[in-house]
Amino acid sequence: MIQNVTSLEMPVDEEFRIVKNHFTNGKGKRICIVTGTHGDELEGQYVCYLIAKMVKENMHLLQGTVDIYPALNPLGIDSMQRGVPAFDLDMNRIFPGNSRGSMIEKVAHDIYTDLSGADMVIDIHASNIFLREMPQVRISEQTAELLVPYAKLMGIDFIWIHQAATVLESTLAHSLNSTGTPCLVAEMGVGGRISHSMCHQLVDGIQNMMFHMGIWQEEPDKSSLKESIVSQGNDAVAFLNATTSGVFITELHNDVTVKKGQTVGQIISPLTGDVLCDVKAPCDGLLFTLRAYPMVYEGSLLGRIHRL
């Protein structure tokens, strides 16, 4: 059943709506699948479609509630903008919102309130247009003890337990986790694209979690589920940042292991024909993030390596 989470008038003959698809059958736990916080991240669109299709065609297997929120930033998705158009705000930096705040703060509050109390929220992201990510779940250190077992149920390639930066305190995941609603952040793929195999893998993982939570009465095909690599600790991940501005080219793709000193890519000058910088791996490890958008400034993130 399609339900409004919140709605507001827009200036000229349009209603702003956040909607969810609410599936429920009998008593049981509630899982929420949310995505579309950033308008340039589309991987979650296909995941929502696959789960909605699975549930509506097999309602007899549902024992509890599945709520699907495919677009927390509908204006951004429909106009290919990462932030909230007209406000130039990052939707994932204003949670938990404010019921008496301005339009977008109220929207954030209504979303947060609607999700609160769920037994699990999975917040699906797709990096951005600049970086390509292998399928992973990101968890802050404070919530690792509770959330890592759930993340492992998803059979996802990689679990990154990281220190919470201050600015992340205004994310949806932090707001929910800090008030007792468990929320896992899934990252995969690249902005503006849909990677079918990754989406199917994540759906199998979510179905497996639903099965173990008692929400779904059928085990998934486990052939795509993996033993997760867990990365934790300050020095567990090496960051590759551009040391000069130019055009970044690479022959690699992410989800490969690299050796210390191996060339990850080059920053080149199309004007002069020079290689401005050889980008080399600083350590042995798993290249789980790799730059997808070639133009770089000094400091632009080129990759992340989990040290092995």
Residues that bind other proteins (CB under 8 A): 8-13, 16, 82-83, 86-89, 93, 100-103, 106, 128, 130, 166-167, 169-170, 239, 241, 244-247, 271, 295-301
Closest CB to other proteins among 275 and 295?
295
* Alpha carbon distance 250, 264 (integer Å): 6
Closest CB to other proteins among 202 and 296?
296
CB of 281 to other proteins, least distance (A): 16
CB of 170 to other proteins, least distance (A): 5
CB of 122 to other proteins, least distance (A): 23
Closest CB to other proteins among 26 and 273?
273
CB of 54 to other proteins, least distance (A): 35
CB of 2 to other proteins, least distance (A): 21
Total H helices, total E strands in the chain = 6, 17
Closest CB to other proteins among 103 and 229?
103
- Inter-CA distances, 11 with 14, 82, 103, 210, Å: 7, 21, 12, 41
CB of 120 to other proteins, least distance (A): 24
Closest CB to other proteins among 239 and 263?
239
Contact yes or no for 202/154 (Cβ under 8 A) = yes
Give the distance between the most distant pair of CA atoms in the chain: 68
Contact yes or no for 19/52 (Cβ under 8 A) = no
* Alpha carbon distance 28, 215 (integer Å): 6
CA 46 to chain centre: 13
Tell me the sheet residues that pair with 30: 65
The shares of helix, strand and coil residues in the chain, as percent rounded to the nearest 5, are: 25, 35, 35
- The count of C-alpha atoms lying within 13 angstroms of the C-alpha of 280, restricted to the half-sphere facing its C-beta, is 7
CB of 103 to other proteins, least distance (A): 4
CB of 161 to other proteins, least distance (A): 20
Closest CB to other proteins among 113 and 245?
245
* Alpha carbon distance 122, 188 (integer Å): 13
DSSP-derived secondary structure letter, 52 = H
Phi, psi of 233 (to 5 degrees): 115, 155
Closest CB to other proteins among 186 and 296?
296
* Alpha carbon distance 300, 304 (integer Å): 12
CB atoms within 10 A of CB 222: 12
Report CA torsion sign: 58, 215, 134, 258.
Answer: negative
* Alpha carbon distance 190, 44 (integer Å): 11
Closest CB to other proteins among 207 and 300?
300
